[in-house]
Amino acid sequence: MSIDTNITTENILEQLKISRKIPEIIEQILTRRIVKAEAEKLGIKVEIPELQEAADLFRAKNRLISARITEKWLEINQLSLDEFETIIHLELLSDKLKQVVLTDKVEQHFYQHQLDFDRVVISEVILTNKELATELYYAIREGEISFQDVASKYITDPELKRKGGYLGQIKRKDLNPGLRSIFSVTTYPQIIKPIATAQGFHLIWLEEKIDATLEPDIYEGIQSQLFTEFLREKAMNLG
């Protein structure tokens, strides 16, 4: 049985519908229109040298190191050179708009929610039995057994067992609300008295607390979040 390899525009639209991608595509179209309209309203433009520099950076990042490789990439993605430039132009316009509409707002958001970005370095064992969790807590505290030995014995996940229950640096906002009380601890390292959540009884080895600063990754994360909220608000007002 032969399979027709000819893909039509109708086939693509049908697949978009079947894969439930239409709402996402509509959102992207509206986002593009909003970015263009807001940039025009604020007098934001992209100059040709900026466009060329951004295109060069894009090619370098995606290892499009020659004209032949770039042409093949365009062919695979069914893009013309003009459409490629449209992509770069839109990204630059979005970045410029982001900088203008979020002036001082990223810093303001960070300092208003700074505690949420504080981190702790922890290892964890979750037990189903309260009495056992309490018994192990006191045994670790008194030096009768190490946390690593407890993790090796009671953790069932192979990868987590291998790491001794080590979870690394966890932001306060990413922790189960029931566990956020560990941020009030002032002495490190130490074993934390079992904390009950819907998952069970958490036996936590707290290595250290890291007070948040506005590092580049945090800045970019907040900026992206606020810009998404800005675009959604504009989209909602279209109706």
Return the amino acid letter for 68.
Answer: R
Question: What's the CA gap between 28 and 229, in Å, rounded?
Answer: 14
22 token code pair: 């239409």
- Sheet containing strand 166-171, edge to edge, reads 166-171, 119-127, 200-210, 190-197
**106-128 residue pLDDT tens:** 999 999 999 889 999 999 999 99
Ramachandran class of 143: left when φ > 0, alpha when ψ lies in -120 to 50, beta otherwise: left
Return the amino acid letter for 20.
Answer: R
**32-75 residue pLDDT tens:** 999 999 999 999 999 999 999 999 999 999 999 999 999 999 99
* Buried residues in 85-117 as b, exposed as e (16+ CB within 10 A): eeebbbebbbbbbbeebbeeebeeebeeeeeeb
Q: In this predicted structure, what is the pLDDT of residue 176? A: 87
CB 191 within 8 A of CB 141: yes
Instruction: Flag whether pLDDT at 4 surpasses 80.
Output: no
Q: In this predicted structure, what is the pLDDT of residue 185? A: 86
Q: What is the mean pLDDT of residues 63-88?
A: 94
Whole-prediction pTM value? 0.75
Q: Where are the alpha helices (DSSP H) in 63-113?
A: 67-76, 81-101, 105-112
Residues, the chain: 239
138 token code pair: 């006191």
**132-155 residue pLDDT tens:** 999 999 999 999 999 999 999 999
Q: Which residues contact 108 (CB under 8 A, 6 or more apart)?
A: none
Q: In this predicted structure, what is the pLDDT of residue 112? A: 94
CB 172 within 8 A of CB 114: no
Instruction: Give the pLDDT band of residue 236 (cuts 50, 70, 90).
Output: confident
**CA gyration radius, the chain:** 26
Question: What's the CA gap between 32 and 37, in Å, rounded?
Answer: 9
